[in-house]
Structure 1
Amino acid sequence: MFAKLHRKSLSLSLALVLAGVSAGALAADVKPAVDAGAAPSNQTVHVTLFLKLHNEAALEDYIRQTVTPGSAHYQQFLTTSQFAQQYGATDAEIARVQSYLRSQGLSSEVLPSHLAIRTSGTLGQFGQLFQTSIHTYVSRTNGRSFHKPASAPQLPAGIADVVDVATGLSNEKAYRPHHVSTPAFAALGTQNAKANALAVKGGGSNGNPTASGVPGQYTVGDVANFYNINPLYKRGVVGKGSTVCIVTLSNFYPSDATTYWSDIGLATKPNRISLVPVDGGGAIDGGSGETSIDVEQSGGIAPYADIVVYHAPNTTNAYVDAFAQAVTDNTCDSISTSWGLPEIFNFAALNVTGASNTDTTDVGDLRAFHKIFLEAAVQGQSLFAASGDSGAYDTVRDLGNGTGVGEYTAPLTVDSPASDPFITAAGGTTTPYSYAFGTGPTESITQESVWGWDYLQTYFNKYVRPINLFSVGGGGGVSVYWRKPFYQAFTFGVRRSEPKQSLVYNDPSAGPTTLLKLPSHFAGRNVPDISLNADPETGYVFVSTNDGGLLTGEGGTSFVAPQLNGITALLRQSTGHRIGLWNPQVYAIQNIFGYGWFTPFKAIRTGDNWFYNGAPHYNPGAGIGALDVANLDVFLRSGF
């Protein structure tokens, strides 16, 4: 199948990444980044004003009805203009905001959804508009420069009753792609025997002809084997008439995807990839491989669907703008993203990497995404987000997990935007395989399990040499911002937040400093919702020109989100209509019918993500569980 395979290494030391967090109860004596003074006042930036929704409770009720069989508005999804008329800002409200912006010398553009107004201007203009000064800061951690308000911005009184959130005053945050590689075990003098795969449903390459049957070298054909997609292909269901969209923060080479599909022998619709740059577009950079994965996986699962890639720079404002554009364009039947940050980075009053002791992000980013996701849901667009690759401790990949001087503790946390209740959070599993390293014996994972690399750490520490893989695994846990949504109200296994969870910085001069205490026993939204194979040890091949070509031993929940995106395209063709928000539908089916040979779900009963264990019911390690796509198709076509 492939002439040459090579593996990209995962560094076992976790570097710090700048991330803004918010809340009032944070200590102000954490060493700040260097304030380099006022940012250039003539620097041009994009700022988006998100407007307050009308009748938000009625909107959520309507969304429930669109995906509840028997309801008055079942599958009666709205157009963008209908959403604008019923729930968006009024023409008078928009005119008032635009008039105010013009008085400040700012032009503006209104989204057709009436959800937001985009504007661009200089930092000086926006500083004056929001009654703050915007400074340049230099991180003491990695030398990165960024700008942000030096004091909390204030919404102008004349438009404060209309505008809810303003994004774009800071370019401090940088999101991470949820993609990981197999550790460089070869450097430890080991030999991996994982190619001795156990039998899996579909018979490996004896099932789907594009499958490899080899763990670490799996293709979309293996995904079809694992999750019973092949019956749809045999019916001619290949995504025709569907459009899948990717929201990403790096551009990529479309030839990566066509090369991947060609190399595995997959016939696809030609000339089906379109690129839409937002806020200037993303760069070809270290995140380009993520975009390649997203396109290759979604487009490989649904080989005749059209693909639109909305790419933007890696800033909060651009990420929000890209999602808003994809949703308001309303050509996407389903949308996935594989980028995120810990949810708690949105609600502290201090940057935990020491960037500034005055933060202005608050929870505005969460609210901005939420408004967009509500619009997508009522328009029937299915949304998917990777839940993260740091198990139950989502801050570890950004901040580490040590207790030494200058280090941060690791509270139980979940990833955003996956934690929003109106997006489907994609979790990770490990599929059955056998493995051996160095002089150690061969061991096996005999059933699909929650992905967490503590099983590898235990093996290495026992047989080979000590190694620290904490906390690599499928993201999952309990949101401490979003309350438990209606569709999880009757789901057995849903958890509350754990007590005694704090983010603590061991200040070199002041000693341990508590930055944020998380609420205990909070009845929050649980993630993930659905999980598929994501462990790099049972992972995939993909093509990324920017990363050297063909790679193997790749994984992360960033494979699962686009796979669900592609599966939705198949379901859209099969049912003849958009699927809409998955969550209320899949939870209802699971709550009523449970698990069994005829249901769409397989319980993930074993493994853990370093805290939450697999179980014969919902669990925050794997959610509802893994899919049987053919069975899900039957349920959706019958109206269950």
Structure 2
Amino acid sequence: MGFWKHIAVGLPAAIGLLAWQVPGVDAASVQADTVQNPNTQNAQDLGPASAGETITASLILKVQNEQGLENYIQQTETPGNPNYHKFLTTSQFAAEYAPSQQVIQQIVGDIHQLGLQVDQVDADGLDIQVSGTVAQFDNALNTTIDNFRADGHEFRAPKHVPHIPNVLLNSVLAVVGLDTEQAAQSLTVKSPNVNGASSPQVVLPKSGSTATNTPGSYTVGDTANMYDINPLYQKGITGKGETVGIVTLSDFNPSDAYAYWSGIGLKTPANRIREVQVDGGGQIDAGSDETTLDVEQAGGIAPDANIVVYDAPNTDAGFIDAFYQAVSDNVADSLSVSWGQPEIDYLAAMNNGVDYTDELAAFNQAFMEAAAQGISMFAAAGDSGAYDTARDFPPSDGFTTPLTVDFPASDPYITAAGGTTVPFSANFQLGAVNIQKERPWAWDYLQNLGYTGLFPIGTGGGVSVIWPRPWYQMGISGMQNSASGQAFTDSQGLLFGTPFTYQLPANFAGRNVSDLSMDADPETGYLVYDSADGGWVAGYGGTSFVAPQLNGIAALIDQFTGSRVGFINPVLYGLQKTLGYGSDKPFNDLSDGSTNWYYQAVPGYDPASGIGTPNVANLAAALKWLH
């Protein structure tokens, strides 16, 4: 997790569906210097931040009647229930589930008494943005905010747990934003540079087509061919009147998206992209290609939909605020995110005793609000196979690789987007590959040729050890419990100066990831137009493609059915049970026995591929029938 991600509040976090409650620190009784930053010993303290520097933080308030909210969400996605698809407006949500205006005004007054400024209270009544100088925050919270250097970059963070007044504790779930450490990674992968494999060549569609039929240069036109989207286009369903939203942590050049659509021969409206820069917005940086491809894919699948991009700084506050801004605006009918990190990174056992599960609860509240308002949400499941920590903590550095899943994909109120490899043949220096059936994406087929350094690149998927199995996965054949014997070990003490081991819970009946899958293997991957990378680039992949593709598909289905379909997981699992698989059914089953480095693709549900892949036109027809 890096440096402090939040202020330790004085009451245990109200973490709802989380598997356990972690005792909180009583901030009212903690002296400012008693709890040290767990990473201080591994970073160079550059001294106090400039006293006059203005910084911002966000107070996330607790949802009221969380159980009632959970029940209402279930009702809105239960066909035949009187509340089926009776989604709330933002003001209705705030009136029913946010703190009262009287309580919010009291909190605002308390913040002012601390010498800080309230900049914004989101319309949903759950996110309050606060600003002040470093000196004002130091004084108000009895802390010292310093600048640090670690791993070649500098950032700002409190040296120790700040002290906040008791008066805020009853209503505040989490306070985030006093640091500027990176919060998440984009989930994008490029084709590997292995012996005998030339760099992927850019192939553009021929005149009259938007598809290339070329692995590594696939476009949204190829996606439409693979997953039965074309029958919707033939009926005039193009996402017109719908809005897709992208939550991201880097800025981008919107002209790249227009160049992509134009370059593949796709007609789209002008000026369809609107940017909302949350907390000042993200930067043009290494993550900008993620934002670019998210917009290109979602907007290409739904070529007449409007697009709103919520870009924020890559910090804890930026990531959380972007979601709260998006759901408070309630403009996007569907949202996708292709950034994340291992869910266990938030646990105290992974942070030298410092608990960050209040952040998980803060995210979860935003996702529950989205569900109550009928916003479909999709998150990339990760690109490290069944071993999500391996990307950040590789075995080569002395870390073990336990079975783990990525967040926010593991949250029960978001649809986790998994990845596949579609059929292709290729010759490499060490041998030939001939994949004849779509399978879960894992580069074990390259490792089997003798190539090294590829473990465990592939689709994320597995079992959460934090979120219990949600109601819509109950009774679904193929669900797994967490495996035994899984431990995260830092054998060299690289994180906190001394070695440690965290033993993951065994046999926990957790949320299973993924839910739906589509092509994500860079070897059968995609074109991206990115001017910062010279224009057209082939060989992109990762589950970060699948999340925005599903986002665009949701826009098509919303237009086809005539209204928002909302949080789609309960209906997906219901359709899998009742209608099943086949060319005339909503889903294709992946069951060839291949793996995502651990979980096997078997008939029905499995964590390697989720329910399977969508037959989009059939899925849309089934959802319209339920309407």
Note whether the superposition's TM-score is higher than 0.5: yes
* 1:479 corresponds to: 464
- CA distance in 2 between counterparts of 1:245 and 1:508 reads 41
Q: Deviations over 1:250-296 (max 9, x none)?
A: 11111111111111111112210111111111111111111110010
- CA distance in 1 between counterparts of 2:371 and 2:302 reads 21
Once the two structures are TM-superposed, the CA of residue 40 in structure 1 deviates from its matched residue by 3.1
Match of 1:522 among 503, 508, 519: 508
Write the mapping of 1:279-358 to structure 2, written as runs, cut at 5 A. Answer: 279-348=279-348, 351=351
* 2:68 corresponds to: 58
* 2:98 corresponds to: 88
Alpha carbons of structure 1 residues 473 and 137: separation in structure 2 relative to 1, 3 Å: same
2:384–2:457: 8 Å Cα contact kept in structure 1? Answer: yes
* 1:211 corresponds to: 211
Alpha carbons of structure 1 residues 246 and 29: separation in structure 2 relative to 1, 3 Å: closer
Partner SS for 2:236: coil
- CA distance in 2 between counterparts of 1:207 and 1:577 reads 35
* 2:50 corresponds to: 40
CA RMSD of aligned residues (A): 2.7
* 1:236 corresponds to: 236
Q: Deviations over 1:190-242 (max 9, x none)?
A: 459999xxxxxxxx989993111111110001100110000000000000100
Match of 1:183 among 192, 195, 200: 192
Letter of the 2:370 partner, please give it.
A
Write the mapping of 1:357-368 to structure 2, written as runs, cut at 5 A. Answer: 359=354, 362-368=356-362
* 2:405 corresponds to: 414
2:473–2:479: 8 Å Cα contact kept in structure 1? Answer: yes
Letter of the 2:580 partner, please give it.
G
Write the mapping of 1:91-170 to structure 2, written as runs, cut at 5 A. Answer: 91-108=101-118, 109-139=120-150, 142-170=151-179
Higher RCO (Cα < 8 Å, 6 or more apart): 1
Once the two structures are TM-superposed, the CA of residue 151 in structure 1 deviates from its matched residue by 2.4
* 2:525 corresponds to: 539
Alpha carbons of structure 1 residues 411 and 86: separation in structure 2 relative to 1, 3 Å: same
List gaps (5 residues or longer) in structure 1: 1-16, 196-203, 352-356
TM-score under structure 1 length normalisation: 0.88
2:208–2:265: 8 Å Cα contact kept in structure 1? Answer: no
Letter of the 2:488 partner, please give it.
L
Q: Deviations over 1:321-371 (max 9, x none)?
A: 1111111001100011111111111113665xxxxx674x62122111111
Partner SS for 1:279: helix
- CA distance in 2 between counterparts of 1:267 and 1:508 reads 54
Once the two structures are TM-superposed, the CA of residue 33 in structure 1 deviates from its matched residue by 2.3
Alpha carbons of structure 1 residues 70 and 292: separation in structure 2 relative to 1, 3 Å: same
* 2:452 corresponds to: 467
Partner SS for 1:94: helix
Alpha carbons of structure 1 residues 431 and 76: separation in structure 2 relative to 1, 3 Å: same
Letter of the 2:133 partner, please give it.
T
Q: Deviations over 1:351-396 (max 9, x none)?
A: 5xxxxx674x621221111111111110000011111111111111
Is 1:376 the counterpart of 2:370? The answer is yes
Once the two structures are TM-superposed, the CA of residue 511 in structure 1 deviates from its matched residue by 10
Partner SS for 1:507: coil
- CA distance in 2 between counterparts of 1:64 and 1:358 reads 35
2:116–2:137: 8 Å Cα contact kept in structure 1? Answer: no
Match of 2:562 among 573, 576, 583: 576
* 1:14 corresponds to: none
Match of 2:489 among 501, 504, 509: 504
Q: Deviations over 1:104-160 (max 9, x none)?
A: 122212111111211111233333433433333322xx2222232322334420121
Once the two structures are TM-superposed, the CA of residue 435 in structure 1 deviates from its matched residue by 1.6
Partner SS for 1:395: helix
Is 1:451 the counterpart of 2:424? The answer is no
Alpha carbons of structure 1 residues 146 and 79: separation in structure 2 relative to 1, 3 Å: same
Alpha carbons of structure 1 residues 184 and 229: separation in structure 2 relative to 1, 3 Å: same
Alpha carbons of structure 1 residues 609 and 176: separation in structure 2 relative to 1, 3 Å: same
TM-score under structure 2 length normalisation: 0.90
* 2:28 corresponds to: none
- CA distance in 2 between counterparts of 1:124 and 1:632 reads 56
- CA distance in 1 between counterparts of 2:482 and 2:40 reads 27
1:286–1:546: 8 Å Cα contact kept in structure 2? Answer: no
Letter of the 1:150 partner, please give it.
K
Match of 1:611 among 598, 608, 616: 598
Write the mapping of 1:380-395 to structure 2, written as runs, cut at 5 A. Answer: 380-395=374-389
Q: How many residues align?
A: 597
Tell which deviates more after alignment, 591-600 or 606-615. Answer: 591-600
Alpha carbons of structure 1 residues 446 and 206: separation in structure 2 relative to 1, 3 Å: farther
* 1:4 corresponds to: none
- CA distance in 1 between counterparts of 2:129 and 2:320 reads 11
* 2:550 corresponds to: 564
* 1:258 corresponds to: 258
- CA distance in 1 between counterparts of 2:492 and 2:235 reads 62
List gaps (5 residues or longer) in structure 2: 7-21, 24-35
Alpha carbons of structure 1 residues 636 and 189: separation in structure 2 relative to 1, 3 Å: closer
Once the two structures are TM-superposed, the CA of residue 421 in structure 1 deviates from its matched residue by 0.5
Match of 2:427 among 411, 419, 436: 436
2:146–2:159: 8 Å Cα contact kept in structure 1? Answer: yes
Letter of the 1:381 partner, please give it.
I
1:208–1:221: 8 Å Cα contact kept in structure 2? Answer: no
Once the two structures are TM-superposed, the CA of residue 170 in structure 1 deviates from its matched residue by 2.3
